[in-house]
Amino acid sequence: GAVVSQHPSRVICKSGTSVKIECRSLDFQATTMFWYRQFPKKSLMLMATSNEGSKATYEQGVEKDKFLINHASLTLSTLTVTSAHPEDSSFYICSAPTDSRAAQYFGPGTRLLVL
């Protein structure tokens, strides 16, 4: 069964609005979660590393003020796309390792369409 869940699975919004995406680990605690983005026919690109109890670490070129990450608990990380624009339309996927010595499992993803 799924070990990582995401909500919502799909979002359509108007340009300028903010969108929050939740990533939850199921039946395990995740001190670290990862947020990726995938554009059509492109590979997944890491956006940021979400750390429970501390600030997220952003990859080069990813605006931290636009993509707000909050890792409020050991089972929940949220990504908020602020003032979304059409170019932010993408497939956003989170992942988490089930423990410190394990490979990562991915959530089902959130498909964002900004009109």
Partner 1 sequence: RKEVEQDPGPFNVPEGATVAFNCTYSNSASQSFFWYRQDCRKEPKLLMSVYSSGNEDGRFTAQLNRASQYISLLIRDSKLSDSATYLCVVSPSPFGNEKLTFGTGTRLTIIP
Q: Which residues bind partner 1 (CB under 8 A)?
A: 32, 34, 42-46, 49, 91, 93, 95, 97, 99-109, 111
What's the closest the beta carbon of residue 57 comes to partner 1, in angstroms? 9
What's the closest the beta carbon of residue 70 comes to partner 1, in angstroms? 20
* Residue with smaller CB distance to partner 1, 3 or 68: 3
Return the residue matching tokens 């959130």. 110
Extended beta strands in the chain, E state: 4-7, 10-13, 19-25, 32-38, 45-51, 57-58, 67-73, 76-81, 90-97, 104-106, 110-114
